[in-house]
A = this chain, B = another copy of it.
Amino acid sequence: AQSSVTIYGKIELAAGKPTGTTDKQIMDNNTGSRIGFRGVEDLGGGMQALFGFEHRLSPDTGTSTSTNFWNGYSTVGLAGSFGRVNLGRQYVAAFTHIQNQIDPFSGDTQAALRDTGMRFGGITKVRVADSIRYDFSANGINFAASVGEAPAGSPDRPMSVAVNYSAGPMFLGLGIENPEGANDNVWNIGGRYNFGFATLSAGYGKGSNNANVDAKGFLLGAVVPFGATDFKIGYAENKLDNTSLKTKRASIGADYNLSKRTKLFANYSKVGGGVPVGPKSGYSAGINHSF
């Protein structure tokens, strides 16, 4: 009876220890475990109605990860030859099109480099509520623009425009984001190239936080497939101009793919620079299952 609804999701859990603590734990930090409901209705004439909402959960404790129950997104929209328009709470254009594209760990697990190298200084948003987003894709080029309501007391409407190009082994992306503060803004650029023996990726970003402090960061990564195993390594750092200290993270890990939907993983991270407090190394081993 669910012909118009698709249920999908992902659940990831690991045993390990994040950086910054001595607490060995069963953990799901950074994993994005989720269950979502989405659907597409064919309206004829090349038009489609789209909807979706996605819950994020912390499976180690059985709780919602956020007071926003549908923390992933909640949207309804239309698609056609003109592209796609969605209303609701949804991803910022720069997040989907470039900020989340460079990290070899895909922003998952304690080893994730994305938030160090591509989303630094407390500038960026992953999602914006009360927003409109437009997407258009053609000939390998994917364009997106998102704008949300200015939150109460904030001077700006959070805006973002991003574009990427994906063809064969190559991915290139560029995004700009102007969050709701008066001074905050950032741009990111990056790419990936699949050389066959390895996919190398590099990204860079530069911006200013709402206190008008300049910040910049970069991320370098590599994924080396070997049979069913993907070896991963990467390094990211960022620096705010009002401090001489960088924030650094290096990670190494491997995914063992049991199927297209299920993998085991193990990884190790080390943080450096002046900002991190507590133990500088972290590690985890676990399972990631999509459905």
Docked CA distance A202–B57 (Å): 39
Number of copies: 3
Given A59-B70, A289-B49, CB of A41 within 8 Å of CB of B132: no
Contact status B89-A60, CB under 8 Å = yes
Identify the stretch in A2-10, A102-110, A181-189, A237-245 within 8 Å (CB) of chain B at 4 or more residues: A2-10
Residue A148 CB within 8 A of the other chain: yes
- Chain A: interface residue total (CB-CB under 8 A): 64
Interfacial chain B residues near A49, Cβ < 8 Å: 258-259, 261-262, 287, 289
B77 x A287 contact (CB < 8 A): yes
**A135 interface hit (Cβ, 8 Å):** no
- Chain B residues contacting A25 (CB-CB under 8 Å) are 130, 149
Contact of B57 with A291 in the complex, beta carbons under 8 Å: no
Chain B residues, CB < 8 A from A61: 68, 74, 89, 129-130
Judged by a CB distance under 8 angstroms, whether A26 is at the interface is yes
Knowing A1-B5, A26-B88, A76-B287 are in contact, say whether A57-B43 is a contact too (CB < 8 A): no
Residue ranges of A at the interface with B (Cβ–Cβ < 8 Å): 1-9, 11-15, 25-27, 35, 37, 39, 41, 43-44, 47, 49, 51, 53, 57, 59-64, 67-78, 87-89, 127, 129-132, 148-149, 258-259, 261-262, 286-287, 289, 291
Given A62-B71, A63-B70, A69-B69, 5 other A-B contacts at CB below 8 A?
A: A35-B53, A41-B289, A49-B289, A64-B69, A76-B289
